[in-house]
Chains A and B, each alone.
Chain A
Amino acid sequence: MATVQNMIDDERHDDTIKDQYLTFAIEGEDYGVEIAYVKEIIKMTPITKVPEMPNFIEGLINLRGDLIGVIDVRKRFDKQPKEHDEETCIIVIMYEDYTLGMIVDAVQETAIIPKERIFAPPSAKLSYANQFIRNIGKVGEEVKLLLDVERFLAQE
């Protein structure tokens, strides 16, 4: 998955980075996270459980000598956990001074979603998982649910 990292590095100075999203799948839905937050994508790796944590915090992983926390996105969205397979990935994000891993079913692509293709979510449909969605973006006819990283990471 080094290609994604290269691509990010290449385009770091480009203004269009703010329109780029890394898309991933959870239970058949497509989600997107701003690429500015994404540090890298790694394969599943053994996770050390940490006691007395909220259920969605899976534990700790060793990322080349750095210890970082990992969140299971399914559990965060209150969905049924799924057996990890070879498609399961950890997206490592950096937000403020946290570095955290997000376990997702599969990583799809980086999509360019310009501002005019991004819409506010319909307010009526505020389910539990929806509270973590800030906007809805459209790529062609496909709909991507764009993550509100701040809310996603909040531990209430």
Chain B
Amino acid sequence: MSDFDRESMLEMFIFEMSQLVDQLESTIIQSESEYNIDQINEIFRIMHTIKGSSAMMMFDNIAGVAHSIEDLFYYLREENPKDLDFKRLSDHVLSGADFVKAELAKIQEGSKADGDGTDLAKAIDKFLQQIKGITPAEPEAPKQTASAPASVAEPAPAADPTPSTAGDNMHKYRAKIHFQDGCEMENIRSYTLVHNLQEMAQDITHEPQDVIDEETIPLIRQNGFVVDFSSTHDFNFIHSHLSQTVYLREVILEEIGAPVGAASVAPAAAPAPVAEAPPVVADEPVIPVPPTPDIVAAAAAEATQKKGTASHMISVNVSKLDALLNLMGELVISEAMVTQNSELEGLQLESFHKETRQLRKIVTNLQETVMSMRMVPLSATFFKMHRIVRDMCRQLDKDVQLDIVGEETEVDKNIIEHIADPIMHIIRNSIDHGVEMPEDRKKSKKPSKARVLLEAKNSGGDVLVIIKDDGRGINTAKVLAKAKTNGLTTKSDNEYTDKEIMQFIFLPGFSTNDQVTAYSGRGVGMDVVMSNLEVVGGTALVDSTPGEGTTFTLKIPLTLTIQEGMSVLVAGAQYTIPIANIIKSFKAKPENLFTDPSGNEMITERGEILNIVRLHEFFNIDGAVTDVCEGTLIMLENGEHVVCLLVDDLIGQQQAVVKPMPKYFKKVHGLSGCTLLGNGDISLIIDVAGFFDK
């Protein structure tokens, strides 16, 4: 296999694996308290695929772990044991998922997936042995098993030696295999099957015997391929192994004769279910116990939903979408270059203008379609938070329910990557700092189960992500005191409004938690929220009522690459201001202007007093209009704040294709990038947030 092939296969592999692991996690977390048969099947299927793909890509450690989980779920699926410790089961599967994730990350970075999964696989195998051990073969001692963790732990020593005891325990099997019609080369397939079986079985005999001879093909087609062998592995294991044969139509596995070897078998070795197990047809997994009606209904609803979404999807490499978007950007510019060409000025071109309007319409539609292709629902990001909440609750002994609303809201792919971390940090923060311990909640007459709401909704050109908890709220006095000791305050205490104080928590190195926990308290985290959001041009707001809870609101632009902008003129150069930030533009009247003693210019507009920022002063540009009344003021908002920006003149509204500044240029405060205008000129794009924090 050439490097190139492996490279592209690896990419596909990583993509598929991550999807599967995500799916796995969400399945587990949905059903943590109890697994129904569909979820068990689902997890079994996922683990089977993970095992197969990673074995194919020669990541044996991943395949090993997946294999033991698959075995576990195979057993659950076939035997449907009762009184299962689902929490422990979930823990095992989640740690398996974590292992796969960690290995995937290594592969993605280009390093070797060298994690050792044997311990994990052993732990899972041991767990399986335990379940087998405590699963009553006949419903005799369910009382004992019902009291979960204690009794689970007890049989462990007894179960421990089982693998070795089982080793002496030879079973004789007969398997009859039918291949799918028209799969061809049945003899070779039979040969491969026998070859694979040699790893785990002895005394293999088969009928027809000389499978290399092509004349056996019709025989195999007609009568099936019959293999007799003895193996130390149990029925289920052999069956699952045989079921993996490619082009398999049916496998009938029987155990023939009594187990040979050591007659006294440890209680855990579970030969009982084997003897009972009827020959199973591979294609139709037998459901031993009919699930309760409501579970069936829910599962059916879920299944139809899945069918509805899956069939019309294809996956496309993001780089292709990026390329498409770049081309789209160039098309928007070219279109403007043609239709606004200076050579056309003053010409009477009636049909030309009609056609350009049509072109404009098509380009706009195309642009919307391209943008919509890049839109991804927030659901995957949101559902990942279940895992975080679950892990934290178990670790911190808190009881929190995460409610998710509006997860279908869509955001640009590039933006999603930047907001997953902020959301995670805020949720961690809410659970760690906000939510009280259950007993404290009872004292303050709150329900002992805390609620964290994660909500997304559209609002104009932005998406709002709201994270709301019903915890103890933010103690503004404590925050202010901490801000003071860290030297972050610039005004005297009583000048700060509660809102201003709360914004302190987003500053680097700020944490009011006196004790560092695994999750927060080190003062990193909330500043990550801000810095990540700034990259995508978003903002964050906090609101909190002591004793009732805290609400974080993240405001994120829908898309980054093509913005609606207002072109303005300063000293002959053009600048573009995102329309989303503009409230209005107006001419100042001299009587509304005033200056405070420290030289800050202000204006009263509709009863509000606003600061004036002169763009030319901010950027040290010579030759701009300096008389406030002569230029134009643009009222800008960023979150809660409003300023008036002085520019020379307005040019007009246009679509700005945002390009990053060339790498050689250092980041300029107040600029977010640049854009090409229809006439080929360059306009710098203003980062409005820059005017507020300087």
Q: Which A residues are closer than 8 A to B by beta carbons?
A: 46, 48-53, 57, 60-62, 65, 67-69, 97-100, 153, 155
A135 to B425, CA, bound (A): 54
B253 → A minimal CB distance (Å): 60
Inside 8 A of B683's CB, which chain A residues have their CB? Answer: 48
Given the interface contacts A46-B681, A60-B674, A67-B676, does A52 sit within 8 Å of B663 by beta carbon? no
Subset of 24 A-B contacts with CB under 8 Å: A48-B573, A48-B681, A48-B682, A48-B683, A50-B665, A51-B621, A51-B671, A52-B619, A52-B620, A52-B668, A60-B674, A60-B682, A62-B676, A62-B682, A67-B662, A67-B682, A68-B662, A69-B662, A69-B664, A69-B665, A98-B662, A98-B664, A100-B662, A100-B664
Contact of A51 among B663, B668, B676 (CB under 8 A): B668
Q: Are B664 and A52 in contact (CB under 8 A)?
A: no
Chain B, 616-661, CB within 8 A of any chain A CB = 618-621, 659, 661
Q: Which B residues are closer than 8 A to A by beta carbons?
A: 330, 333, 573, 618-621, 659, 661-666, 668-669, 671, 674, 676, 680-684
Inside 8 A of B682's CB, which chain A residues have their CB? Answer: 48, 60-62, 67
Q: Are B681 and A62 in contact (CB under 8 A)?
A: yes
Contact of B684 among A46, A48, A69, A97 (CB under 8 A): A48
A99 → B minimal CB distance (Å): 7
Chain B interface, DSSP helix/strand/loop, else mixed = loop
A67 to B663, CA, bound (A): 10
Inside 8 A of B621's CB, which chain A residues have their CB? Answer: 49, 51
A67 to B657, CA, bound (A): 12
Q: Are A99 and B662 in contact (CB under 8 A)?
A: yes
Q: Are A67 and B668 in contact (CB under 8 A)?
A: no
For the A-B complex with A49-B621, A50-B684, A51-B618 known, give 14 more contacts whose Cβ atoms are closer than 8 Å. A48-B684, A50-B668, A50-B671, A51-B620, A52-B620, A52-B668, A53-B665, A57-B664, A60-B662, A65-B333, A65-B676, A68-B662, A69-B662, A100-B662
A105 to B117, CA, bound (A): 66
A18 → B minimal CB distance (Å): 25
Inside 8 A of A155's CB, which chain B residues have their CB? Answer: 664, 666
Inside 8 A of B661's CB, which chain A residues have their CB? Answer: 50, 67
- Closest residue of chain A to B329 (Cβ to Cβ) is A65
A102 to B80, CA, bound (A): 74
A60 to B659, CA, bound (A): 12
- Closest residue of chain B to A65 (Cβ to Cβ) is B330
A99 to B664, CA, bound (A): 8
- Closest residue of chain A to B619 (Cβ to Cβ) is A51
B617 → A minimal CB distance (Å): 11
A52 to B680, CA, bound (A): 23
Inside 8 A of B665's CB, which chain A residues have their CB? Answer: 50, 53, 57, 69
B249 → A minimal CB distance (Å): 56
- Closest residue of chain B to A49 (Cβ to Cβ) is B573
- Closest residue of chain B to A60 (Cβ to Cβ) is B682
A57 to B333, CA, bound (A): 26
A100 to B662, CA, bound (A): 9
A100 to B659, CA, bound (A): 16
A50 to B670, CA, bound (A): 11
List 9 A-B pairs, minimum CB-CB distance, nearest first. Answer: A51-B619, A48-B682, A69-B662, A69-B664, A98-B664, A60-B682, A52-B668, A62-B680, A67-B659
A130 → B minimal CB distance (Å): 23
Inside 8 A of B668's CB, which chain A residues have their CB? Answer: 50-53
A46 to B676, CA, bound (A): 13
A52 to B690, CA, bound (A): 14
A48 to B676, CA, bound (A): 11
- Closest residue of chain B to A96 (Cβ to Cβ) is B663
Inside 8 A of B330's CB, which chain A residues have their CB? Answer: 65
Inside 8 A of B681's CB, which chain A residues have their CB? Answer: 46, 48, 62
Interface centre among B618, B682, B683 (most CB of A within 10 A): B682
B355 → A minimal CB distance (Å): 24
Contact of A67 among B573, B620, B666, B674 (CB under 8 A): B674
A57 → B minimal CB distance (Å): 7
A85 to B676, CA, bound (A): 26
B577 → A minimal CB distance (Å): 15
B693 → A minimal CB distance (Å): 16
Inside 8 A of A65's CB, which chain B residues have their CB? Answer: 330, 333, 676
A90 → B minimal CB distance (Å): 14
Inside 8 A of B664's CB, which chain A residues have their CB? Answer: 57, 69, 98, 100, 153, 155
- Closest residue of chain B to A51 (Cβ to Cβ) is B619
Inside 8 A of A69's CB, which chain B residues have their CB? Answer: 662, 664-665
A70 → B minimal CB distance (Å): 10
Contact of A52 among B333, B573, B662, B669 (CB under 8 A): B669
